[in-house]
A and B are shown apart, each in its own frame.
Chain A
Amino acid sequence: SQQGEEDPQALSIQEGENATMNCSYKTSINNLQWYRQNSGRGLVHLILIRSNEREKHSGRLRVTLDTSKKSSSLLITASRAADTASYFCATARFSGNTPLVFGKGTRLSVIA
């Protein structure tokens, strides 16, 4: 069963614009991770945010986590055509010995 729900399901923007994707989840978590997937291939780990963190940055990525609302957002600034991919949030309930539970993903299209 899916733990997370990404919103929107699909997003289309112009190159240079910012893209925001949201994720909601149901149970308490130890950490939340964001992954990118190009054309149905392997997942690329983008960023991990722990339950005691509220915001994290990595290059053009900014992730926020609100554990009271059980939600997270991923912001990609100054998007590029190469950012076109599906983005998934995944939650881990414990610090170890726990599977990742994925949402259905957001399909991002960046138009040059």
Chain B
Amino acid sequence: ETGVTQSPTHLIKTRGQQVTLRCSSQSGHNTVSWYQQALGQGPQFIFQYYREEENGRGNFPPRFSGLQFPNYSSELNVNALELDDSALYLCASSLEQGADGYTFGSGTRLTVV
């Protein structure tokens, strides 16, 4: 059984660019959630995918979008990057929408300059 894998681990982008972050969920998990964690803060919910459909979204603008694939892996896309998008992006997978807790990946550290 493998855990949650995120790629890349670190990324530097320029303001206005677009970025795609990737997540491979834990084997058997059908739910993927994405969180943004600014320095010194707790994670903030971006959105969740369950069986390839988005079924929950936090207070993030439409330039944050995502996908979940048939193998339940996922992508987070951010367009028109802003300096405030600099953060640790965490992916979490679970079975059946997190009823028994989530398994988190190690995160992608995004720096926007």
A positions within 8 Å CB-CB of B = 1-2, 4, 33, 35, 40-45, 48, 88, 90, 92, 95-105
Contact = CB atoms under 8 A, between A and B. Distances in A.
Interface of B: 4, 6, 33, 35, 37, 39-45, 48, 50, 55-56, 58-59, 88, 90, 92, 96-107, 109
A96 B96 contact: yes
A103 B97 CA distance: 20
The 7 closest A-B pairs by CB, nearest first: A102-B42, A99-B45, A96-B97, A42-B106, A43-B104, A42-B104, A48-B101
Contact of B55 (A41, A97, A100): A97
A42 B107 CA distance: 6
Contacts of B100: 48
Nearest to A45: B101
A105 B39 CA distance: 12
A91 to B, nearest CB: 11
Q: DSSP class of A's interface residues: helix, strand, loop or mixed?
A: loop
A45 B103 CA distance: 7
A95 B94 CA distance: 13
A32 to B, nearest CB: 11
Nearest to A30: B99
Contacts of B48: 97, 99
Contact of B45 (A41, A42, A45, A100): A100
Given A42-B107, A44-B104, A102 B97 contact: no
A96 B99 contact: yes
Contact of A98 (B35, B43, B97): B97
Given A102-B43, A104-B41, A41 B106 contact: yes
B108 to A, nearest CB: 10
Given A41-B107, A42-B107, A105-B42, A98 B90 contact: no
A42 B57 CA distance: 21
Contacts of B97: 96-98
A65 to B, nearest CB: 15
Given A42-B105, A42-B107, A43-B90, A95 B45 contact: no
